Each structure stands twice: as structure tokens, then as C-alpha cells.
Structure 1
């Protein structure tokens, strides 16, 4: 795997870790004491506007607001402009989720991570993650009537989109001006079990999550790092057009894996 793809495995969408570990806890598969550390990793996580709280809380203290929910009432959503699938209709929460590109939707609650950068007095820069809680109606239908794809369907769509994108990028000679992207896409055609999910997820969901998590980061690299000067505007547009269906399939694969039914 290329250095770009290898580096990508180090970062996973924060909402996906939040959803999977909280769902596993609510299914009785992991303990409450585990989940805050698993979600936060090496970062500092706080929660703002938690029900009944008057100040920001440590993540460990705020997770109790999910204690009465069933696993299937807690879902990952990864909306994008023009693709609000999974959001519970228009409103403040939907707007913030679209801006962030990720959120957690639960019965009565919507949660969105905000990354804040700080600089200490000695000039050291560090980040904290603030999960902002939004109240949602208890009887809100999941995803405004949208049904998540199953892992099998999402895996087939991701494989098809990846093959089509790889062929299109080969025709565009992407390896000439973005070798790390071309190499990463080629490596990702092989299922990778390197990314972890908590207990309760079946092998298909784990395989899908591993593959989609790495690809998600590779696509973020392609979006945010401009191609070299040898690439003209038309070529850049063609690249973006080739990646757009793959990006959508990748988001839906992550959603399907993280929201998959749990089993003991």
C-alpha cells in the first residue's frame, strides 16, 4: 500500500467510532467504562449542551444520556451537499451536520463533532474535539424515511464504483500527476481487515468498514491536495467527476457497516 494509503489508516471519522462503540455498549457487548477511551483515543473529547448539563462535560460523563436507547436507535449519518440522506429533515441540526459532513442521530438526540485548535502559551498547537448535542423529536422517523443499505448491497456498490473510478483515472493517466492516489486505489481493491470495530459486528461489516475507512481518507487527500501544475482545469474536472460516484459509495459503505445489525 502506498504511503498515502498507509497514513490514511491512522484516521477514522470520529462519528463512526462514536456510533459503533455506543451501539456495542447498548447491546451489552462492551462495558460503559471502555467506550469513552475507545472513541477518543489520544484526543481530548468534551460534550456541549448535554441534556441536564449547564457546562461542557467530559465525554465519559456525557455518554450516559444514551443509556436508555436501543442499539438500532443510534445511527451514523454522513451527509454531503446535494446528498442529505439519513438526516431527519431540514433544521439547525441538519445544517450543522451537512457542514461537518458527519453526525450521530439517535432517538431524541443529534450529535456533531467540532474540532477546535488551541495554542498554548509556549506556542504548542493542540486540538480538542467538542461533541455538540442537538435536541431532536423522540418520534422522528430514522433518516426522514431513508433506509440504510445493508452491508452486502453497500459492499457490491463500493466494489463497482472503485473499479469504475480506477479505470477512469487510468485513462486520465492519474499516476503521472498523483501517483499516491493511483497506488492507494489499486491497493484498496484488496479487502483489508486492519481497521477494527467493537464486538458484535459480523465479518462482512468489519471488512466493509476497514476498506471504506481507508478509502475515505484517500479520497479526502484527493479532494484537499491540489494536483500539480501540469494538470489543467479540464483534467482536474475529469478527475473530480471520476471520483464523485466513488465518494458517495464510500460514504454509504461506512454508514452500512457502522449501522449494521449487531449479534452476540
Structure 2
């Protein structure tokens, strides 16, 4: 949503491409509580209401406990954002996705998404910065590489791949050159590369942290959790840096 909105508002992709990219194969997307709308409206209608917003003021925020940067403190938006972990932040409101999985009587599955709008009340004593103080794409790439190197050594020592064979494939993907995550026009090749790497690392964190796996002691489980924390933080920072990087 953030990437395509920013590219559209810069004039690099047409409106129809934004709608197609965001909807994907989902059943439907609606926006609820949009200012000026009495009821939930289809996403294509809501996007037209966003046409006046500057691309630089559309930001991805991924709040976690202890780091809700980018959201107004003690607000409904901050509380809802922390529960979901991702927010599309605009100057006057934030959008938070609520995903519902559905299944037809014949077994066909699909998802519907409601983007719930939360107002941002301007606070002259503590205004939100237009551009957050997260790291640049270059800094994020370096931090991710350092965290991956340090974490990999510890996970190898703990023999994590023995009880999570999928990790071997994920680590192999990290070593492949030339792969990139799909971003719309306007993003740099470096942003695409960093995003692709961050998504793979986030997948590794999810796999390694799903359960106790082959950890034979509480100490091993604690060591694994300690190893994954900086890696998860680095992947999150890299995602933010990539999606919020300058559009050219």
C-alpha cells in the first residue's frame, strides 16, 4: 500500500495499477471511518481521497513494544498499530489493515481487508515529523549484514538448521545475487535489494522462533531468542528504510 501510493502520488504509475497491486488476489478491500464518509467505502474510492497527499508524507510505520516511533503517543492509532504491527501513516490519519480469512462452501479460500482509519490530532507541543528519524537504506543494509553475520554464527553453534531444515533454503536464498523484491517505479535498485534481503531475514526469524524446536535446554532456547532479537530489529529497520526511501 505505502509503496504504490507513494509511486502513484509522484506520478510514476497510473491509478489503475495502484488498485490492482494493492487488491492482488484478495476478495475485497474497504476503508472504514474515512473522514467525510458515513460508511465503509471500497478501496478504489478511498484512494481518490488520498490524491491530494504528498508522496513524502505517506509513510510506513512498524511499531513494536518499546519503539512506537512515527505514531502519536497514547493515541488510539498507536494502540491499534502496536496490536497489528504496521500502519500506513498520512498527515491527518493512519490506516491499519484488518484481515479476515473466508472460505466458501466449496472450499475456496480468500481474504478480505478492512483498512481502518484513525485520526491524527495535531499537537503543537509535540508534532509528528514529516520524515521519521529511521536509518537510510545504506545504513540499514550495513546493519542487516552485521546482524546476520553475528546471528548466523550463534545459530550454527546451536545447530538450529538440524530442527528447522527450511532455514538452510532461506540462508541459501540470502546468498543469491540479483534477486529483488517487487517495488513500483521510482524506488532504487538498492532499496529493492535491501527489502528482498529484509523479507528473507524476517522469514528466517519467524522459522527459527516458531517453537523450541531442537533446543535441548532452557539455556539454549534463551540463547536462540537473544540471537534473534537483533536480527528481527535489523530486518524491521531495513523494511522501513526501503519502503520510506526517496522516490525518484
SS in structure 1 at match of 2:116: strand
In 2 relative to 1, CA 231–183 (structure 1 residues): closer, same or farther, beyond 3 Å? farther
Name the CA distance, whole Å, in 2 between partners of 1:198 and 1:230: 41
Name the CA distance, whole Å, in 2 between partners of 1:179 and 1:185: 10
- Report what 1:142 is aligned to: 129
Residues 14-36 of structure 1: CA distance to partner in whole angstroms, max 9, x if unpaired? xxxx1000000010001112101
- Report what 1:253 is aligned to: 238
Structure 2 unmatched runs, 5+: none
The Cα of 1:136 is off from its aligned counterpart by 0.9
Q: Is the 8 A contact 2:70 2:128 kept in 1?
A: no
Q: Is the 8 A contact 1:212 1:254 kept in 2?
A: yes
Query: RCO higher in 1 or 2 (8 Å CA, sep ≥ 6)?
Result: 1
Structure 1 unmatched runs, 5+: 1-17
SS in structure 2 at match of 1:148: coil
Residues 149-177 of structure 1: CA distance to partner in whole angstroms, max 9, x if unpaired? 11001110011111111011011111222
Name the CA distance, whole Å, in 2 between partners of 1:28 and 1:127: 30
- Report what 2:57 is aligned to: 73
Among 81, 88, 93, the alignment partner of 1:109 is 93
1:23 aligns with 2:9: no
1:235 aligns with 2:220: yes
1:173 aligns with 2:194: no
The Cα of 1:230 is off from its aligned counterpart by 5.7
- Report what 1:15 is aligned to: none
- Report what 1:36 is aligned to: 19
Q: Is the 8 A contact 1:166 1:182 kept in 2?
A: no
- Report what 1:262 is aligned to: 247
Q: Is the 8 A contact 1:166 1:186 kept in 2?
A: no
- Report what 1:184 is aligned to: 170
Residues 176-231 of structure 1: CA distance to partner in whole angstroms, max 9, x if unpaired? 222222442353144553321000011111111111122223323333x3243663
Name the CA distance, whole Å, in 2 between partners of 1:161 and 1:229: 23
User: How many residues matched?
Assistant: 244
SS in structure 1 at match of 2:22: helix
